[in-house]
Amino acid sequence: MQVTLPSIIATDRLKLVGGRFGASGTHTSRTMMTTELTEVLRVVPAAANRSEYENAIVEENCLGKSTTSNRRLTYRRMSELYGLNPSLPLFAVLRRLWDLDVAGRPMIALQCALARDPMLRGTSTYILSMPVGSQLLSNEYVASIREHIESTMNDGVLDQVRRNANASWCQTGHLEGRVTKRRKTVGAPFGAVAFALWLGSLEGRVGDDLLASFWMRHFDAPRHAIIEAVLRCKQAGLIFASIGGGVVQIDPTPVFRPLQLEGTQHGAS
């Protein structure tokens, strides 16, 4: 059964922090690459500038790629998904949350990738409509992707998007299985919840409406578990929040704190 997700409002604020909109996306050729992202963020210090991320991947070959061209392509695709640029607010938020919530890293990466890749966003509706334990049906999935992306692509490219997105949703824990893919339950790690609240606020959402955004729909958690995650975000100093008597007040602006960098940084992309 298909469901309608809350719309993503392409506000100037979302674009300014690094959100991407349009008819192209990284999932035409790659997955979310969470293993690669984990290694890059392990070897590159949080205070690094953009050029140091490029140097680690291309020159130092921290990901063990066999050719220079493959290293450069990997850097380009990872930059498309995550920015790898401390002057880009989306990446600054990801980098801050990464060490605060280790268990939540796949879902933290997902929030950033969803904001940066229209192709991945276009696969969300079907994935999130699947009941837990149900099998992914390729024909229905492909039809849903066509409906929810702006691009007109041939069957071969669309199939590649499907395959790459399947792998990404397995990386986040929403799907499992090597051949037959089935829906799994994912929780609401507080770091990813903080990210989702911040993204929702950039759309102009406030209060209880923040809990109903597109970004928050990616957690398979009842309301009480979401509230617990929100309160943990508050305890970690990531948000301001007051919840009681049926009233929800949330200010996620503290989530974004510009990184203190070493050296000269390059412009956002």
* Measured CA angle at 210 (ends 209, 215), to 5 deg: 125
Q: What is the pLDDT of residue 259?
A: 60
- Higher-confidence residue of 60 and 269: namely 60
What is the pLDDT averaged over residues 78-95?
A: 96
Residue 151 Cα distances to 63, 106, 128, 161, 171, angstroms: 31, 27, 21, 12, 25
Q: Are 39 and 74 in contact (CB under 8 A)?
A: no
pTM of the model: 0.92
* Measured CA angle at 64 (ends 56, 96), to 5 deg: 45
163: Cβ–Cβ under 8 A, 6 or more apart, which residues?
A: none
Q: What is the pLDDT of residue 217?
A: 95
Choose the most confident range, by mean pLDDT, from 18-32, 63-77, 235-249: 63-77
CA 167 from centre of chain: 14
Q: What is the pLDDT of residue 247?
A: 86
Q: How many other C-beta atoms are found inside a 10 Å radius of the C-beta of residue 263?
A: 10
What is the pLDDT averaged over residues 248-256?
A: 94
22: Cβ–Cβ under 8 A, 6 or more apart, which residues?
A: 118, 150
Q: What is the pLDDT of residue 198?
A: 96
* Tens digits of residue pLDDT in 175-217: 999 999 999 999 999 999 999 999 999 988 999 999 999 999 9
Q: What is the pLDDT of residue 261?
A: 55
Q: What distance in Å separates the CA atoms of residue 263 and residue 249, rounded to the nearest whole number?
A: 39
Q: What distance in Å separates the CA atoms of residue 159 and residue 164, rounded to the nearest whole number?
A: 9
Q: What distance in Å separates the CA atoms of residue 218 and residue 231, rounded to the nearest whole number?
A: 18
